[in-house]
A = this chain, B = another copy of it.
Amino acid sequence: MSVTAPAGFEAAGVAAGLKSTGKPDVAVVVNRGPRKVGAAVFTSNRAKANPIIWSQQVIADRVVEAVVLNSGGANCFTGSFGFQTTHQTAEKAAELLDISAGDVLVCSTGLIGTGDEVFRAKVLAGTEQAIATLSADGGDAAAQAIMTTDTVAKTAVVQGDGWTIGGMAKGAGMLAPGLATMLVVVTTDADLEPLEADAALRAATGTTFDRLDSDGCMSTNDQVTLLANGASGVKPDLDAFRSALRGLCQELAVKLQGDAEGASHDITIEVRGAVSEQDAVEVGRSVARNNLFKAAIFGNDPNWGRVLAAIGTTSAQFDPYDVDVWMNDVRVCTAGGPDRPREDVDLTPRATNLVIDLRSGEASATILTNDLTHDYVHENSAYAS
């Protein structure tokens, strides 16, 4: 059910011809109220796609009634013509839904530089078609329409005490933080104030999507949106809501990791014993972005030297000669020196655990990443995306 699991939301996904495969490529999610609370986080990349520039204006008043999303073209670096396409998309949806264009978010994903007349015509026609087929069980169709190189549609639902959260996500590459790292729409029928929704979304994404770092490459189009309509009539316990929202975001983040382009290992990097959470994140990210380490994991090689070489480039507080490293629960390095032999480590399972204990403090953080594989190189060299 994804985004239509909570009461008061409708969605649709249709094929508008943007994808050469003929698969669904335009989705619409509509909030039927009563409240129209919206919150969103965006890519921190300064190279922003037109839909991002548009949506950052729309979200300013924290009122959102609809989201139009397309795959098959990023509408990024397509000039003022491209921005007008985004604007016209919002106007088209607003006209058909009898709402204000200023309350319509637009998201696009696909190849940068794609956004010509043909693209515009298809997006506008697709928006019209999708709105004509909106339904209260259209969440799964919408999730399918935002897929790009994803191999599976990604959805999640969490039940609260009288309220529900639903979500859909697309993303299979270019996974790196910057608040958002993918297209995600999350809906809830809980009754939230705009600032409550905003704070809850930022807290949840900060420790979930923002700590998924598959290949260190930040996209131009990323957006995570939360729509809250209060249709349940329930004002949630805020701690419970925040916890549920974080759980849902983490579930979607793990699904994105599991579908990362060409990956053969899902690597969980847990950094312990840091002086601060920021230090722990910096250390984890340095390993997640080290091609030599990532290639070693692909080769099932527990090369802990590459871990130490990576973390040595950070400014985090620790002594490189007082660090312990575990791979899949085998301590391969103690106090910056060899411990158990590499033969003891079995890296054949897809799920891979790396634990780094900096032995300097009490803070910790976990980063999710993937290995560097032949298939990653193939997918990102053989196809323009």
Contact = CB atoms under 8 A, between A and B. Distances in A.
Interface extent on A, as a size class? 35 or more
Given A292-B174, A320-B46, A377-B374, A218 B309 contact: yes
A219 B309 contact: yes
Contact of A220 (B312, B377, B381): B312
A289 interface: yes
Contacts of A289: 216
Interface string A147-176: 000000000000000000000000001100
B338 A299 contact: no
B380 A377 contact: no
A228 to B, nearest CB: 31
16 contacts: A44-B313, A46-B314, A46-B320, A47-B311, A48-B312, A76-B305, A112-B308, A113-B304, A173-B292, A174-B292, A178-B313, A217-B292, A217-B310, A218-B312, A299-B380, A372-B381
A376 interface: yes
A292 B215 contact: yes
Given A215-B292, A291-B215, A313-B45, A377 B373 contact: yes
A296 interface: yes
A384 B347 CA distance: 14
- Nearest 6 pairs between A and B by C-beta? A112-B305, A47-B312, A299-B381, A295-B380, A47-B320, A45-B312
A301 interface: yes
Contact of A77 (B215, B291, B292, B338): B338
A111 B220 contact: no
A79 interface: yes
A228 B313 CA distance: 31
Nearest to A74: B305
A173 B74 CA distance: 34
A111 B377 contact: no
A299 B217 contact: no
A353 interface: no
Contacts of A292: 173-174, 215, 217, 380
Contacts of A372: 291, 377, 380-381
A312 B46 contact: yes
A314 B178 CA distance: 12
A90 to B, nearest CB: 20
Given A45-B309, A112-B308, A299-B382, 17 more contacts: A47-B312, A47-B320, A48-B320, A77-B336, A78-B337, A78-B338, A112-B304, A174-B309, A215-B292, A217-B291, A219-B309, A295-B381, A298-B377, A372-B377, A372-B381, A374-B374, A374-B377
Nearest to A80: B337
Interface in A311-326: 311-314, 320-321
Interface string A216-234: 1111100000000000000
Contacts of A45: 309, 312-313
A88 interface: no
A303 interface: yes
A47 B307 CA distance: 10
A111 B337 contact: no
A290 interface: yes
